Amino acid sequence: MPAEARTKDAAGAEAFVRYYIALINRTSQVMDAKPLRDFSQNCRDCMRIARDAEQDAAAGYHYSGGELKITNSGRPLMKGSTAEIAFIADQAALTVTDKAGKPVKGLAFPRYPSLSSGAALSWDPSRNAWIMTTLTLG
Amino acid sequence: MAPGAVTARYASQNDSGAWLASNDAPDNLPYTYRLSNPCIVNDQNTGACQGTDFRDCVAPPGRAVQDLVIEERRLVLADGRTIDNFAVPPGTAPGTQVGPWISVARACIDVTALNPPPSPGEVFRYFKELPLPKLTTKQQPPGNALSGLPVIFFTDSPTTQDFTVNIRGFTVTIAARATGFTWHTGDGTDLTSSGPGAAYPNQTVTHDYRSGSYTASLTTTWGATFRVNGGASAAVPGTTTTDGPAVTFTVLQAHAVLTNPYD
């Protein structure tokens, strides 16, 4: 985690969200969702993304594309040990392929531009870091 | 839309604290709402709901009241801002949902106006009112029994039955099946079995009696699965029981017999 994402302020909160999005993109490349679980708590959509990746990995699938990119964001709302932020994300087109490299039927998704998104974070003093508690994409 | 969630334009509490969801909302509403099953919100491992995850909510007749988690999400208002001046990314149009979903409460929420498909809990309330079969008790030997010779109990009544009910315009088919059998022997003993028993020589439920007159009966436990408008099958989250008619018989002191006593 970059140092700028470990400060308990608005800049740190925004940096953490960008870091978490980078972790999602990394998960898509290496099919390892553990970091998504490590840096989230009771985050329903984080778990859904992790679970989908793990199930697809177990099936021998790979992802091609699907990268998320934050294109714009609002200033985080800080409330004590929590933060909320609104952001706009683009998601690249995604194709899921099987072990043989063939596209899996029903698992091809178009590009989704300008997804109005958001995140809620909670500061974990034991780790001196933010954790994701809510992730909303689109 | 996250799986297991339904949107509602508006959710509010009345003076009594009861929650009501609807799609009729005031103009320039600052939030939109999402209602989710608690197990989907909380489960981090399987993402799947079990029938036991649902709390039963009291519902007046014809109303759909479900145990749900209410979440709200800010909407960009006509002036381009949000209700609490939560920072919106530049250029975001009025009416756009912004930021994360925020948990408000878990409660029994009247969702009748959203006309959602019947929940498992709602189907269970109907299931409990169905005219399920009252299984008859058969005993062997027929007529009088003999002390020292176990009495065999079984039922040959149907142990499955299908029903179709209309719940708020949804066609719900319920497939009921007997899952447990409690045999009241009449001498203070209750026997339980997972099956309906069988006649001699394949008996599975028997009881020894002293001489006397006894009244026996069968209480059947029923479970079920259901489908809404022919969709996927799901378990009804609970069971109910029916009591079968009583049978009275006499157990006589045994004497020497020369023929098959179970005929």
CATH of the domain at A125: 3.10.450.50
A contacts of B3 (beta carbons < 8 Å): 48
Residue that is last in its domain, among B81, B110, B139: B110
pLDDT at B254: 63
pLDDT at A123: 97
3-state secondary structure of A61: coil
Q: Which two tokens stand for residue B117?
A: 């498909």
A contacts of B41 (beta carbons < 8 Å): 44
- Segment B72-97 shows an average pLDDT of 94
Beta bridge partner(s), residue B183: B191, B218
Structural domain range at position B247: 120-252
Q: A13 CB near a chain B CB, below 8 Å?
A: no
Q: A74 CB near a chain B CB, below 8 Å?
A: yes
> Residues of chain A with pLDDT > 70: what percent?
100
Measure A67 CA to nearest chain B CA, in Å.
19
Closest in A45, A51, A77 to B2, CB measured: A45
Q: Based on the domain organization, do B60 and B42 belong to the same domain?
A: yes
> Residues of chain B with pLDDT > 70: what percent?
89
B contacts of A88 (beta carbons < 8 Å): 89, 92
The span from the CA of B217 to the CA of B211, in Å, is 18
Q: Based on the domain organization, do B157 and B217 belong to the same domain?
A: yes
The span from the CA of B27 to the CA of A129, in Å, is 40
- Is residue B196 included in any domain, yes or no? yes
Q: B90 CB near a chain A CB, below 8 Å?
A: yes
pLDDT at B45: 46
- Is residue B125 included in any domain, yes or no? yes
Q: Which of B245, B252, B12 is nearest to B141 (CA)?
A: B252
Measure B140 CA to nearest chain A CA, in Å.
55
3-state secondary structure of B147: coil
Residue A79 CB contacts under 8 Å (≥ 6 apart), including other chains? none
Number of domains forming the structure of chain B: 2
Q: Do B98 and A86 touch (CB under 8 A)?
A: yes
- Segment B9-14 shows an average pLDDT of 88
Q: Do B73 and A136 touch (CB under 8 A)?
A: yes
Measure B104 CA to nearest chain A CA, in Å.
13
Structural domain range at position A119: 3-137
ipTM of this complex prediction, to 2 decimal places: 0.91
In this prediction the pTM is 0.69
Q: Is residue B80 within 8 Å of residue B123, measured between CB atoms? A: no
Q: Which residue has the tokens 């609002």?
A: A74
Residue that is last in its domain, among B59, B88, B110: B110
Burial class (CB in 10 A: 0-12, 13-18, 19+), B25: middle
Number of domains forming the structure of chain A: 1
Average pLDDT of chain B is 88
The answer to whether residue A33 scores a pLDDT higher than 90 is yes
The span from the CA of B21 to the CA of A14, in Å, is 34
Q: Based on the domain organization, do B16 and B95 belong to the same domain?
A: yes
Higher local confidence (pLDDT), A107 or B3: A107
Kindly report the CATH number assigned to the domain that includes residue B187. 2.60.40.10
Residue that is last in its domain, among B59, B82, B110: B110
